[in-house]
């Protein structure tokens, strides 16, 4: 399924490999003509849902920030993945996801060999793990989380790349932030980082936005922008990339109201995906158990989508408490306290964060839209995007390229173009033109035919039902605007 999506993405211009003519750059992708429209529409729908509200303001902070931001946030110390290298072939793996690259059969063999050579003390540790976890994958992962046991397990494991047994380096922590320098001198004093999340740009502007907008708690700040992570293993097309876009909103609340707002934003955010066409069965929350919470979080959940390779996070929702603002207050020595004039008290607000991946939800919307159907004995591939997300809203076809039909088609095109993305196509059999638009996910196709010449009506064909309706040219614009609302 993923192969089909990747192939369609390239063929139809949704997504291309970055720098493809030079062999590509791992973990980076380019959005083609259809992809850039889809991505823009996703971001626009998010922006409208999140900021066309009384209590949320927008922001666009710069990607490069003062390096102290990342000290305060904990990214310099903690934004790391444990990594191992195969000494034989130099392939690099994330320790915590090594199990994903090993088959079930091999995993069983490795665990059997590992269990044979354990000291009494380690046996007890393993028994404890087995009491908590009954599944093979979970046991494998939990063993790797224990420093001593992981070394023993790695001694029995084969490199997923070259097959060599027990030749891994010890796990090392690898910081995922990309470093660069400001100014002409490449010295430690001039190091800056490409932001690994947009959130920090919001935290450090809390006071600026609050003072300039005169918002009172609870209120939010929303931002869409690029983020960069030097992921050890990029995988699954757009799912884990090194450059991606986030759509984040930080909602500042009175500390005692945190649970109420956390629950409300959870519901709002899952409803957003459903309203844009993702079925409830393909979505779920994955609440983080308390022992797996990030260092800044009191409560957290992921909105997950069922991808062809399994359930995967598309958005994280966190109760970040007063962690971020307290840290920025400490490191900057600038007060981040809010004066609550209802209770005449100053305090640091709590933050409820909704953090969606634009690129990851792009992939979810793309997969969700993909359908193969049989029509009159022929297969059609149709991308059933919600009309609001569809890259092209309407295609216009003169049935033949003569008899005055192209002139009327161009007239309709110029009337619709200021309001929506339109595609004009006069080449080939009309059935083929429909199929091409089905693949692009265009919800409406308008055909100008012989009857148009007599009564100025055209057919409008709906992508999913393939039903056609005759309408007056004069009514077209309003009808389309209403349907795309």
Closest-approach residue to ligand GAP (CB): 357
**Cβ closer to ligand GAP: 46 or 423?**
46
Judged by CB under 6 A, which of 12, 360, 393, 435 binds ligand GAP? Answer: 360
Judged by CB under 6 A, which of 38, 84, 199, 270 binds ligand GAP? Answer: 199
Residue 246 in the binding site for ligand GAP (CB under 6 A): yes
Q: Which residue has the tokens 């947009």?
A: 198
Which candidate, 3, 5, 6, 31, places its Cα nearest to that of 243? Answer: 31
- Return the range that interacts with ligand GAP (CB under 6 A); candidates 126-134, 276-284, 311-319, 398-406: 311-319
DSSP collapsed to 3 states, 153-165: HHHHCECCCCCCE
**What's the closest the beta carbon of residue 88 comes to ligand GAP, in angstroms?**
28
**Cβ closer to ligand GAP: 355 or 452?**
355
Residue 241 in the binding site for ligand GAP (CB under 6 A): yes
Chain residues 248-277 in contact with ligand GAP, contact rule CB under 6 A = 248
Count of Cβ atoms closer than 10 Å to residue 366 Cβ: 22
- Is residue 461 within 8 Å of residue 431, measured between CB atoms? no
Which candidate, 160, 23, 173, places its Cα nearest to that of 84? Answer: 173
Count of Cβ atoms closer than 10 Å to residue 202 Cβ: 24
Cα(463)–Cα(373) distance, rounded to whole angstroms? 12
**What's the closest the beta carbon of residue 92 comes to ligand GAP, in angstroms?**
16
Residue 388 zone, left/alpha/beta (φ > 0; ψ -120 to 50; rest): alpha
Residue 244 in the binding site for ligand GAP (CB under 6 A): yes
Cα(444)–Cα(471) distance, rounded to whole angstroms? 13
Which candidate, 8, 40, 12, places its Cα nearest to that of 420? Answer: 40
Number of residues interacting with ligand GAP: please give it, by CB under 6 A. 19
Token output for 289: 């158990």
Judged by CB under 6 A, which of 139, 152, 195, 229 binds ligand GAP? Answer: 229
Judged by CB under 6 A, which of 32, 99, 316, 349 binds ligand GAP? Answer: 316
**What's the closest the beta carbon of residue 289 comes to ligand GAP, in angstroms?**
16
**Cβ closer to ligand GAP: 244 or 423?**
244
**Cβ closer to ligand GAP: 46 or 219?**
46
Residue 37 in the binding site for ligand GAP (CB under 6 A): no
- Return the range that interacts with ligand GAP (CB under 6 A); candidates 1-9, 206-214, 324-332, 348-356: 348-356
**What's the closest the beta carbon of residue 249 comes to ligand GAP, in angstroms?**
10
Burial letters 109-120, b for 16+ CB under 10 A, else e:
ebbebbeeeeee
Residue 225 in the binding site for ligand GAP (CB under 6 A): no
Residue 301 in the binding site for ligand GAP (CB under 6 A): no
- Is residue 258 within 8 Å of residue 350, measured between CB atoms? yes
**What's the closest the beta carbon of residue 35 comes to ligand GAP, in angstroms?**
15
**What's CA 299's distance to the chain center, in Å?**
21
Residue 359 in the binding site for ligand GAP (CB under 6 A): yes
Residue 197 in the binding site for ligand GAP (CB under 6 A): yes
Judged by CB under 6 A, which of 314, 348, 399, 476 binds ligand GAP? Answer: 314
Cα(390)–Cα(365) distance, rounded to whole angstroms? 10
**Sequence-separated (6 or more) residues with CB below 8 Å from residue 243:** 27, 28, 226, 227, 228
**Cβ closer to ligand GAP: 239 or 444?**
239
| Alpha-carbon distances of 457 from 3, 47, 102, 467, rounded to whole Å | 42, 37, 61, 16
- Return the range that interacts with ligand GAP (CB under 6 A); candidates 2-10, 28-36, 310-318, 461-469: 310-318
Torsions phi, psi for 201 (to 5 deg): -60, -30
- Return the range that interacts with ligand GAP (CB under 6 A); candidates 70-78, 201-209, 313-321, 409-417: 313-321
Residue 315 in the binding site for ligand GAP (CB under 6 A): yes
**Cβ closer to ligand GAP: 133 or 298?**
298
- Return the range that interacts with ligand GAP (CB under 6 A); candidates 274-282, 351-359, 390-398, 428-436: 351-359
**Cβ closer to ligand GAP: 171 or 196?**
196
Torsions phi, psi for 250 (to 5 deg): -110, 125
Token output for 352: 């409820």
Q: Which residue has the tokens 């060599």?
A: 164
Question: Which residues lie across from 306 on neighbouring strands?
Answer: 311
Torsions phi, psi for 220 (to 5 deg): -125, 160
Judged by CB under 6 A, which of 12, 43, 240, 266 binds ligand GAP? Answer: 240
Residue 357 in the binding site for ligand GAP (CB under 6 A): yes
**What's the closest the beta carbon of residue 379 comes to ligand GAP, in angstroms?**
32
Using CB under 6 A, list all residues that contact ligand GAP.
Answer: 197, 199, 229, 231, 240-241, 244, 246, 248, 313-316, 353, 355-357, 359-360
């Amino acid at each position: 399924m993923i192969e089909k999506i990747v192939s369609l993405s390239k063929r139809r211009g949704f997504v291309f490999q970055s720098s493809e003519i030079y062999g590509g750059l791992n973990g980076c992708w380019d959005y083609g003509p259809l992809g850039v429209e889809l991505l823009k529409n996703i971001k626009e729908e998010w922006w409208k849902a999140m900021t066309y509200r009384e209590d949320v303001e927008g922001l666009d902070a710069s990607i490069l920030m003062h390096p102290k931001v990342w000290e305060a946030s904990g990214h310099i110390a903690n934004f790391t993945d444990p990594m191992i290298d195969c000494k034989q072939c130099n392939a690099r793996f994330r320790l915590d996801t090594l199990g994903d690259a090993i088959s079930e059969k091999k995993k069983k063999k490795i665990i059997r060999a590992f269990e044979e050579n354990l000291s009494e003390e380690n046996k007890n540790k393993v028994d404890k793990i087995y009491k908590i976890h009954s599944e093979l994958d979970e046991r494998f992962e939990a063993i790797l989380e224990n420093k001593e046991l992981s070394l023993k397990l790695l001694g029995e494991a084969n490199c997923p790349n070259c097959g060599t047994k027990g030749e891994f380096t010890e796990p090392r922590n690898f910081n995922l932030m990309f470093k660069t320098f400001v100014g002409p001198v490449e010295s430690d004093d001039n190091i800056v980082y490409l932001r690994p999340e947009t959130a920090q740009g919001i935290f450090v502007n809390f006071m600026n936005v609050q003072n300039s907008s005169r918002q009172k708690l609870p209120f939010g700040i929303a931002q869409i922008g690029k983020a960069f992570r030097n992921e050890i293993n990029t995988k699954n097309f757009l799912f884990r990339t090194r450059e991606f876009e986030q759509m984040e909103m930080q909602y500042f609340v009175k500390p005692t109201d945190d649970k109420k707002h956390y629950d409300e934003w959870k519901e709002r955010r899952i409803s957003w995906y459903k309203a844009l066409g993702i079925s409830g069965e393909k979505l779920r929350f994955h609440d983080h158990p308390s022992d797996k919470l990030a260092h800044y979080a009191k409560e957290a959940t992921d909105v997950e989508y069922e991808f062809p390779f399994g359930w995967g996070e598309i958005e994280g929702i966190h109760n970040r408490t007063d962690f971020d603002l307290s840290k920025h207050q400490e490191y900057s020595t600038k007060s981040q306290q809010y004066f609550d004039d209802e209770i005449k008290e100053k305090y640091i607000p709590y933050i409820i964060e909704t953090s969606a991946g634009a690129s990851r939800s792009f992939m979810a919307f793309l997969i969700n839209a993909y359908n193969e159907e049989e029509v009159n004995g022929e297969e059609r591939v149709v991308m059933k995007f919600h009309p609001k997300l569809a890259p092209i809203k309407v295609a216009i076809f003169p049935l033949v390229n003569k008899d005055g039909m192209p002139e009327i088609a161009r007239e309709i095109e110029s009337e619709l173009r200021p309001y929506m993305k339109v595609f004009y196509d006069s080449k080939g059999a009309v059935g083929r033109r429909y199929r091409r638009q089905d693949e692009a996910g265009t919800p409406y196709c308008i055909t100008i035919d012989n009857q148009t010449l007599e009564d100025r009506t055209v057919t409008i064909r709906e992508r999913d039902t393939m039903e056609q309706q005759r309408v007056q040219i004069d009514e077209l614009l309003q009808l389309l605007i209403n349907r795309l609302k």
